[in-house]
């Protein structure tokens, strides 16, 4: 008889999770999912949808979480109908959500109490990288558990970085997104200044595209936003949330973050008008501010 496929269950099955799931299928696993917004028993990609996080955990060999924030993580993980209530002793829980380091550590502690290995494994990259299986996975947890999860992590990403103990993957994710968010707001302000000061738009964008000082990620965002494409590869609301998490954890450690704080304010303004659009929406918002 052929060997039965292991089942990987996703709690949260949005744009990122569904793309990661396809690579996990290609690696030889079966995928099931839970999402509170489900209106049928099957996702658009054919994944079987289960009725609660607990039911999903009971049906899965490995559980992955991909939810937007700490509140959603807590709601799906704990309680009578939560993931932990349905996981078997010795199970593996991989949390790819971008959440606070404290939330990641609490989940890891709760996992230990139930005999479940928990990794915080947020990813760096947006939907194009998820589509290509080219994410960078930033992992916190025990080294032996990281190796146990390696087939899954290798399926969804081009590189895995073991950042340290539980919660440190989330810390590294906040570092990465802080750089992304602050760099984008600085880029937006500088471009807005250049246009108001009389530089030709096409010349300016062409010059910036050829400069090494701007990352490939931000060049892609600049080109898309300047052509009017702000479709949400990484929504403004999520970037603003991550910047807020960085400021909050920075305060815990008494770390001054004045540049991050200023960038977060500009993203807050952008969120008022473009919460569901890509965070590169800060470019047209800042240009409009510069023009008065």
Residue 213: count other Cβ atoms within 10 Å of its Cβ.
7
Q: Which helix (H) or strand (E) holds 162?
A: strand 157-164
Of 284, 1, 276, 19, the C-alpha closest to 134 is 19
Of 178, 185, 177, 180, the C-alpha closest to 263 is 185
* Active-site residue, selected from the candidate residues 39, 158, 173, 219: 173
**CA 177, CA 100: separation in Å to the nearest integer?**
13
For residue 39, indicate whether it is catalytic. no
**What are the φ and ψ backbone dihedral angles of 24, each rounded to 5 degrees?**
-70, -40
Of 188, 219, 202, 203, the C-alpha closest to 286 is 188
**CA 173, CA 254: separation in Å to the nearest integer?**
19
Known catalytic residues are 173
């Amino acid at each position: 008889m052929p060997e039965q496929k292991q089942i990987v269950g996703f709690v949260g099955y949005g744009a990122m999770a569904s793309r990661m799931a396809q690579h996990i299928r290609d690696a030889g696993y079966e995928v099931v999912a839970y999402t509170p917004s489900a209106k049928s028993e099957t996702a658009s990609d054919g994944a079987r949808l289960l009725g609660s996080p607990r039911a999903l955990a009971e049906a899965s060999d490995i559980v992955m979480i991909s939810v937007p924030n700490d509140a959603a993580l807590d709601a799906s993980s704990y309680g009578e109908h939560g993931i932990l209530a349905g996981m078997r002793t010795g199970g593996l829980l991989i949390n790819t959500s971008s959440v606070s380091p404290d939330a990641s550590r609490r989940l890891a502690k709760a996992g230990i109490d139930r005999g479940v290995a928990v990794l915080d494994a947020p990813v760096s990259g947006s939907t194009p990288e998820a589509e290509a299986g080219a994410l960078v996975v930033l992992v916190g947890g025990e080294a032996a558990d990281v190796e146990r999860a390696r087939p899954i992590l290798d399926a969804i990403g081009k590189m895995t970085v073991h950042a340290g103990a539980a919660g440190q993957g989330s810390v590294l994710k906040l570092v990465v997104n802080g750089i992304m968010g602050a760099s984008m707001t600085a880029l937006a302000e500088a471009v807005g200044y250049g246009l108001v000061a009389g530089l030709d738009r096409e010349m300016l964008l062409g010059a910036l595209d050829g400069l090494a000082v701007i990352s490939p990620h931000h060049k892609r965002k600049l080109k898309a936003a300047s052509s009017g494409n702000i479709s949400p590869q990484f929504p403004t609301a999520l970037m603003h949330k991550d910047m807020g998490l960085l400021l909050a954890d920075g305060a815990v450690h008494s770390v001054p973050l004045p540049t991050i704080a200023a960038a977060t304010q500009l993203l807050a303004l952008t969120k008022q008008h473009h919460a569901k659009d890509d965070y590169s929406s800060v470019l047209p918002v800042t240009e409009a501010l510069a023009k008065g």
